Amino acid sequence: MIDPRPLEDVDAQVADLIRADVTRQNSHIHLIASENFVSRAVLEASGSVFTNKYAEGYPGRRYYEGCEVVDEVEILAKERAQALFGAEHANVQSHAGSQANLAAYFAFLEPGDKVLAMGFDQGGHLTHGLPVNASGELYDFVPYGVDPDTELIDMDEIRRLALVHRPKIVLAGYTAYSQVLDFEAFRSIADEVGALLMVDAAHFIGLVAGDAYPSPVPYADFVTGTTHKALRGPRGGLILSREEHAERIDKAVFPGMQGGGIFNQVAAKAVCFLEASTPEFRVYAKQIVLNARALANRLTAEGVRVVGGGTDNHMVLTDMRSIDEELTGKKGARLLNSVGITCNFNAVPFDPRRPFVGSGIRFGTPAMTTQGMKEPEADETAGLLAEVLRHRDDPVALEELEVRIRKLAGAFPAYPEGFPGHV
């Protein structure tokens, strides 16, 4: 029989851990560029009984019986994604962004085929050919980077590399880069060398949904993404494509990359696509960018160097060496977290340090914007975090700064009523 008792009564340890993380989430200013806070509706769908259903295959073509309802959920999620992004086809089954990327490669590449993508040490993702990742093991990634002087992507250099290497896929997309990509220029380079254009929009797909970033959909053959970053949905991946690629992509996701979809997450994706199609979401997405600019401006004014000179998206990559040559990203990020500002260390382009230490810290504004913060709070946050980094060896100053940070965070809790509907 199904145990009807609530989590608290069944497993007090896990219930306590959830409560502890609600407290952590409510008492920090959250500046991890890839994180966000989902709505109660997304949490409910994600915690729903769809977790019980096995449904390998696609609507109407399942390998299990009893899929009538999950078929409807998947169709709903797919149609909402297509409408939201103006895409001819959407696959909503990928368990995560990495799986979406690997499925896209699997759909169009043979082992050893060439892909031109942003290097990991320049702002690309590990699924863009890092040797320890399956992408790097299976395919021949040619990295491009940023210009050493401007720290911006140089389309002429990408074109030059494409002409030399003749890749099968040109990949546009990043995990640490603060500018808008020129999708039209990427398209024309791909066309010139007869390559497919793939855009990994994991980071900015939420901004695209809210009209705060140009859409890659009209230019790309296929676009991969995550639903859990700025898009403010459940953890998961998605692939948008032209109709001509639909069959190959669907086949690469299932049975190529995975078995059954995670249908509680697919249901939550459907909810997130609905939420992202509202006028409120467009206001939210634009505020994310305004907050990132306010953060970047104040950091610059405080003498913290912003890589690339500013931001046009939700992300601000900073160079700790502008505070102190000896200060690593890792040390700075640890310190900030200890006083209530959560962020992550990151390599900066041409970083002499190992990626596991890094000279930079990446800040992002999707979560703080969901917390309800606007430019004045972004400005204040940047001022506080610069002070923390400057006073890193002064425990008295740090204590005083922590009080101010906790006060600001406490005024904008993500979940003022605790873990909605559960603990």
Ligand X SMILES: Cc1ncc(COP(=O)(O)O)c(C=O)c1O
Site string for ligand X, 120-149 (x = CB under 6 A): -----x-x----------------------
Exactly one of 235, 248, 390, 406 is catalytic; name it.
235
Residue 134 beta carbon to ligand X: minimum distance, rounded to whole angstroms: 12
Told to judge if 144 belongs to the known catalytic residues of this protein, a careful annotator would answer no
Site string for ligand X, 228-257 (x = CB under 6 A): ---------x--------------------
Decide if residue 368 touches ligand X (CB under 6 A): no
Instruction: Give the number of other Cβ atoms within 10 Å of residue 82's Cβ.
Output: 17
Site string for ligand X, 204-233 (x = CB under 6 A): ----------------------x-------
Decide if residue 78 touches ligand X (CB under 6 A): no
Distance CA 305, CA 323 (A): 8
Residue 143 beta carbon to ligand X: minimum distance, rounded to whole angstroms: 14
Told to judge if 393 belongs to the known catalytic residues of this protein, a careful annotator would answer no
Decide if residue 202 touches ligand X (CB under 6 A): yes
Told to judge if 235 belongs to the known catalytic residues of this protein, a careful annotator would answer yes
Distance CA 383, CA 228 (A): 28
Decide if residue 200 touches ligand X (CB under 6 A): yes
What are the Cα distances from residue 8, in Å, to 11, 93, 94, 253, 296? 6, 31, 31, 37, 43
Told to judge if 56 belongs to the known catalytic residues of this protein, a careful annotator would answer yes
Residue 209 beta carbon to ligand X: minimum distance, rounded to whole angstroms: 16
The residue from 80, 203, 314, 330 that contacts ligand X (CB under 6 A) is: 203
CB under 6 A: which stretch of 102-110, 199-207, 208-216, 257-265 binds ligand X? 199-207
- For 135, the enclosing helix (H) or strand (E) is helix 134-138
The two tokens of residue 65 are 């019986």
| DSSP codes, 299-360 | HHHTTPEEGGGS-SSSEEEEEGGGT-TT--HHHHHHHHHHTTEE-EEEPPTT-SS-TTT-SE
Told to judge if 400 belongs to the known catalytic residues of this protein, a careful annotator would answer no
Distance CA 161, CA 143 (A): 9
Exactly one of 19, 44, 54, 282 is catalytic; name it.
54
Told to judge if 226 belongs to the known catalytic residues of this protein, a careful annotator would answer yes
Which of 176, 306 has the CB closer to ligand X? 176
Decide if residue 93 touches ligand X (CB under 6 A): no
Longest CA–CA separation in the chain, Å: 66
Q: Which residue is nearest to ligand X (CB)?
A: 97
Q: Would you call 144 helix, strand, or coil by DSSP?
A: strand
- For 30, the enclosing helix (H) or strand (E) is strand 29-30
Exactly one of 127, 224, 226, 328 is catalytic; name it.
226
Distance CA 23, CA 18 (A): 9
Least Cα distance to 371 among 329, 323, 413, 401 occurs for: 413
CB under 6 A: which stretch of 67-75, 179-187, 195-203, 348-356 binds ligand X? 195-203
Distance CA 343, CA 177 (A): 15
Least Cα distance to 42 among 325, 276, 234, 255 occurs for: 234
The residue from 25, 91, 93, 98 that contacts ligand X (CB under 6 A) is: 98
Site string for ligand X, 26-65 (x = CB under 6 A): --------x-------------------------------
- Name the phi and psi angles at 247, rounded to 5: -65, -45
Q: Give me the active site residues, please.
A: 54, 56, 200, 226, 229, 235
Residues that bind ligand X (CB under 6 A): 34, 96-98, 101, 125, 127, 173-175, 200, 202-203, 226, 237
